[in-house]
């Protein structure tokens, strides 16, 4: 783990010497090649949830958890297909360096840019806080320090390389972290299959005790599983920390292999997500491991029961890598929204962007660290907003709008506001036990449907009025 942090710090020092402008800080000077971008995108996509929450979810719900990652078979290519060229072109022709900036440029609308920035800031603060908390648990377990100390150590290391080197440090750290994640995932998968006696034996063991666990929809049911496929599939196009990568590409000529690079990297890194929860379930049924009191204990229980100590260290480093790579991307995106997009949306041209970008990164990290120290309930409440809120606010305006000539600024703003309102209200009333849609229908899915239909409706209405 110490060796891992040493490499990350070295990357930060190297990158900080090459970061001299806002363009360097926010889009790495548009200098990155395909392999670097592909691995970086994978590392930013897979957060601590993949390595800790994911196995726990698989242990609890079975095949339902599969539908969160199943869309990856499509989305690795879909993102490049739908977003790469239009975003790259906006970057080159209009000097766009952020996703809200791309939305603003597409519709010639400061309002659209401003609302996109607001949506991103609301979603990512909770996301970062939840990841800092997860990192705190990991470091607390590995280093033997208190949870609070673990949170601060993880936050400060992530902050140091993000502030110093901006997105450039983040991307190259992502490449290193992606390699660590892939190695840890492959090793964990091998040990999981070995501990369970192979996939067929694991399946037979689980089926004998729980018939629906490996039914096609798992214990969450068909509506939940299929809704996950919709939200995490279509929603992948609206994750700003991933879409942002397309603004950094040096040369679109070589971009043809980007989906393949990302696919290979992601397959290797998802092996852990797909196998550890299953193996732990089988091991509990067979009595090898006592039943878990918390689902998130699936990964630690597996490491204790089935993995050599030396390899457990690599897996812990993989968890830290997954968390830090995602948080770094979020901090860069959030700083840009705060110091670049919001001023532009209010009609002010940003100045001293490099210095202000660094200050904003520090501010966001400190706020998120404070939130991470809040009682667990509040952190979870903010965390649920993340992926779904990005999806419901940005899919129509960004993914559809960049490819649909008839999209209008009014439709874009209306869809972002709709997504924000429905997600915030829905998740709040669900969290406080007031109302939750039956059969596991997710509020993020409801919000995504609403914002998409509003986007199309308002755009068409505006077009008819002009016609």
Partner 1 sequence: MVAGTAAIGAAYLATMLAGAPPGWAPWAVAIGGSAASVALFVLGAASRGPVARGIAALLAVLGLVIAGSFAVALALPMPTDDGARLFLGLPLRLAIVFYGVGFVPLFVLPLVFARTFARGREE
Q: Find out whether 237 and 243 touch, Cβ atoms under 8 Å.
A: yes
Alpha carbon distance 285, 265 (integer Å): 32
Residue 249 pairs in a beta bridge with 32
- Shortest spacing between CB 428 and partner 1, in angstroms: 17
- Shortest spacing between CB 345 and partner 1, in angstroms: 26
Q: Find out whether 21 and 168 touch, Cβ atoms under 8 Å.
A: no
Alpha carbon distance 45, 299 (integer Å): 20
Quick one: which segment of 77-85, 126-134, 299-307, 369-377 binds partner 1 (CB under 8 A)? 77-85
Q: Which of 77, 149, 378, 428 is the binder for partner 1 (CB under 8 A)? A: 77
Q: Is residue 425 within the footprint of partner 1 (CB under 8 A)?
A: no
- For partner 1 (CB under 8 A), the number of binding residues is 65
The SS3 of residue 249 is strand
Nearer to partner 1, 154 or 233 (CB): 233
The SS3 of residue 32 is strand
Q: Is residue 74 within the footprint of partner 1 (CB under 8 A)?
A: yes
C-alpha closest to that of 296 among 283, 277, 318:
277
Q: Is residue 226 within the footprint of partner 1 (CB under 8 A)?
A: yes
Q: How far apart are the first and last CA of the chain?
A: 63
- Shortest spacing between CB 215 and partner 1, in angstroms: 6
Nearer to partner 1, 140 or 275 (CB): 275
Q: Which of 5, 14, 81, 431 is the binder for partner 1 (CB under 8 A)? A: 81
Q: Is residue 39 within the footprint of partner 1 (CB under 8 A)?
A: no
The SS3 of residue 362 is helix
- Shortest spacing between CB 211 and partner 1, in angstroms: 7
What are the helix (H) ranges across 66-146?
66-69, 72-79, 85-94, 99-107, 110-143
C-alpha closest to that of 431 among 419, 49, 423, 120:
423
Q: Is residue 85 within the footprint of partner 1 (CB under 8 A)?
A: yes
What are the helix (H) ranges across 80-109?
85-94, 99-107
Alpha carbon distance 190, 390 (integer Å): 34
Tokens representing 164 are: 């110093």
Secondary structure string (H, E, C) spanning 3-61:
HHHHHHHHHHHHHHHHCCCHHHHHHHHHCECHHHHHHHHHHHHCCHHHHHHHHHHHHHH
Nearer to partner 1, 156 or 439 (CB): 439
Q: Which of 137, 255, 302, 316 is the binder for partner 1 (CB under 8 A)? A: 255
Q: Is residue 70 within the footprint of partner 1 (CB under 8 A)?
A: yes
Q: Is residue 190 within the footprint of partner 1 (CB under 8 A)?
A: no
Q: Which of 5, 14, 190, 229 is the binder for partner 1 (CB under 8 A)? A: 229
Q: Is residue 453 within the footprint of partner 1 (CB under 8 A)?
A: yes
Quick one: which segment of 80-88, 165-173, 301-309, 331-339 binds partner 1 (CB under 8 A)? 80-88
Q: Which of 71, 136, 277, 357 is the binder for partner 1 (CB under 8 A)? A: 71
Q: Please state, as a whole number, how many other Cβ atoms lie within 10 Å of the Cβ of residue 216.
A: 12
Q: Find out whether 48 and 135 touch, Cβ atoms under 8 Å.
A: yes
Q: Is residue 61 within the footprint of partner 1 (CB under 8 A)?
A: no
Q: Is residue 6 within the footprint of partner 1 (CB under 8 A)?
A: no
Q: Which of 114, 154, 259, 277 is the binder for partner 1 (CB under 8 A)? A: 259
Q: Is residue 399 within the footprint of partner 1 (CB under 8 A)?
A: yes
Counting DSSP H helices and E strands in the chain, the numbers are 23, 0
Q: Which of 41, 167, 214, 379 is the binder for partner 1 (CB under 8 A)? A: 214
Q: Is residue 198 within the footprint of partner 1 (CB under 8 A)?
A: yes
Dihedral angle at the C-alpha atoms of 182, 186, 192, 193, nearest 10 degrees?
A: 150
The SS3 of residue 367 is helix
Q: Is residue 286 within the footprint of partner 1 (CB under 8 A)?
A: no
Query: Which DSSP helix (H) or strand (E) runs through 189?
Result: helix 147-196
Which residues are at the interface with partner 1 (CB under 8 A)?
A: 63, 66, 70-74, 76-78, 80-83, 85-86, 198-200, 202-204, 207-208, 211, 214-217, 222-223, 226-227, 229-230, 233-234, 237, 252-253, 255-257, 259-260, 263, 267, 399-400, 402-405, 437-439, 441, 445-446, 448-450, 452-453, 456
């Amino acid at each position: 783990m110490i060796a891992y942090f040493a490499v990350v710090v070295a990357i930060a020092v190297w990158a900080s010497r090459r970061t001299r402008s806002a363009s360097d800080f926010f889009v790495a000077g548009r200098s990155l090649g395909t392999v670097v971008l592909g691995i970086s995108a994978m590392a930013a996509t897979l957060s601590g949830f993949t390595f800790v929450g994911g196995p726990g979810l698989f242990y609890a719900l079975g095949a339902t958890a599969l539908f969160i990652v199943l869309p990856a078979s499509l989305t690795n290519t879909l993102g490049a297909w739908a977003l790469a060229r239009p975003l790259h072109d906006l970057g080159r022709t209009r000097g766009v360096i952020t996703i809200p900036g791309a939305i603003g440029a597409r519709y010639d609308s400061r309002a659209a840019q401003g609302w996109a920035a607001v949506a991103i800031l609301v979603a990512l603060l909770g996301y970062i806080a939840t990841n800092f908390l997860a990192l705190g648990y990991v470091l607390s377990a590995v280093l033997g320090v208190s949870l609070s100390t673990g949170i601060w150590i993880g936050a400060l290391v992530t902050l140091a390389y993000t502030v110093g080197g901006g997105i450039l440090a983040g991307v190259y750290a992502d490449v290193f972290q992606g390699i660590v994640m892939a190695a840890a995932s492959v090793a964990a998968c091998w040990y999981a299959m070995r501990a369970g006696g192979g996939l067929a034996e694991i399946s037979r063991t689980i089926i004998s005790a729980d018939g629906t666990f490996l039914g096609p929809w798992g214990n969450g049911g068909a509506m939940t599983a299929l809704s996950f496929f919709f939200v995490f599939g279509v929603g992948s196009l609206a994750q700003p920390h991933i879409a942002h990568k397309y603004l950094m590409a040096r040369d679109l000529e070589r971009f043809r292999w980007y989906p393949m690079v990302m696919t290979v990297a992601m397959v290797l890194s998802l092996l852990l997500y797909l196998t550890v929860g299953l193996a732990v379930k089988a091991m509990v049924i067979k009595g090898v491991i006592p039943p878990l009191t918390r689902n998130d204990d699936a990964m630690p229980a597996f490491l204790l029961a089935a993995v050599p100590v030396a390899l457990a260290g690599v897996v812990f480093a993989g968890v830290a890598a997954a968390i830090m790579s995602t948080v770094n991307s979020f901090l860069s995106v959030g700083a840009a929204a705060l110091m670049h997009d919001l001023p532009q949306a209010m009609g002010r041209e940003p100045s001293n962007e490099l210095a202000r970008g660094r200050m904003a990164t520090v501010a966001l990290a400190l706020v998120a660290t404070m939130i991470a120290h809040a009682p667990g309930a509040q952190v979870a409440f903010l965390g649920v907003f993340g992926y779904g809120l990005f999806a419901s606010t940005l899919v129509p305006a960004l993914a559809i709008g960049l490819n649909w000539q008839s999209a209008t600024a009014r439709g874009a703003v209306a869809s972002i506001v709709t997504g924000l309102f429905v997600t915030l209200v829905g998740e709040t009333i669900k969290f406080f036990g007031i109302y939750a849609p039956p059969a596991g229908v997710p509020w993020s899915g409801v919000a995504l449907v609403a914002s998409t239909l509003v986007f199309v409706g308002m755009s068409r209405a505006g077009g008819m009025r002009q016609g």
